[in-house]
A = this chain, B = another copy of it.
Amino acid sequence: MVTRPAHNILGEVLPRNYITIYRYLLEIFHPFAVLVAYLKGQWYCGSGAFPISSYSMRPAGCLVSAGHGTPSLPRCTRQMISERFGRGQRTVDMELEAQIDVLRDTRHKYEQVLRLARELSAHLYSMLQTQHALGDTFADLSQKSPELQDEFGYNAETQRLLCKNGEILLGAINFFISGINTLVNKTMEDTLMTIKMYENARLEFDAYRADLEELNAGPRDAVALARMETAQQQFQLQREKYERLRSDVTIKLKFLEENKVKVMHKQLVLFHNAISAYFAGNQQQLEQTLKQFNVKLKPVGAGRPSWLEEQ
């Protein structure tokens, strides 16, 4: 029977003997890891510093047995704690980290725009339903009230015209929502996933670097030398991985920035022109705006399944 190996909070595979100790440590350090994520300012990005989905990306065998024959904390956890308490050294790419912070902040703000645009769309949709009913009621009253025929009549006409234009505006707002949603939840998300992999690789790289430094500072017998060689190889492999991911992040950030400006420029111009045309009562300009941006309109309520489909 094959059993899956146990992992620690960082996804590192644990030998069976250490499972009980690790579980105990997990109990202690899991809230700590959450706190660390919070202190790193990653809390508001909607995922902790060590999301569940990234556990499986972690390499196996990151556990260290300290030089004195007693089991110690897993390598990456130890590195993370050392960094947090200002003892461990941390590889820092200032420029890249600043760019990453800006991206996280931008994403947060765009998510806010997305949420508000969705709210606006929902309110407008409700308003159109009401205006439609109001138009019908005014039209009915216009026919049945000879002495107020004109007053009800032009109110009915206005509400109906507003409904028609409102549906076009709704189409434009939904196109805007769709564009921002793709940017935030697909394009930016993809780059942020790479960033998370890069951040994990940086932590591992520093953990292996710290190991090597520890071994260098210790006695130099035959066993130690063999260990040092293995540590050197692992350190080298982690450095390559870290540098490859750093390069990936740099490239993705550059492309994302270009893409973001292009997409947002288009969407913001569409949003502004459609809103301005609608609230200036300029039907022609409104229709032209949608044509210009190649927005296809769905009839209001088309997205909702009928009760027959729901059954």
Taking Cβ atoms with an 8 Å cutoff, the residues of A that contact B are 105-106, 109, 112-113, 116-117, 119-120, 123-124, 126-127, 130-131, 133-134, 137-138, 140-141, 144-145, 147-148, 151-152, 154-155, 158-159, 162, 165, 261, 264-265, 268-269, 271-272, 275-276, 278-281
Contact = CB atoms under 8 A, between A and B. Distances in A.
Q: Is the interface of A mostly helix, strand, loop or mixed?
A: helix
Contact of A272 (B117, B158, B268, B281): B158
Contact of A130 (B105, B120, B159): B120
Contact of A117 (B134, B147, B152): B134
A108 B268 CA distance: 45
B134 A116 contact: yes
A306 B73 CA distance: 53
Contacts of A119: 126, 130
Contacts of A105: 144
Contact of A275 (B117, B147, B162, B165): B162
Contacts of A109: 137, 140-141, 144
A272 B155 contact: yes
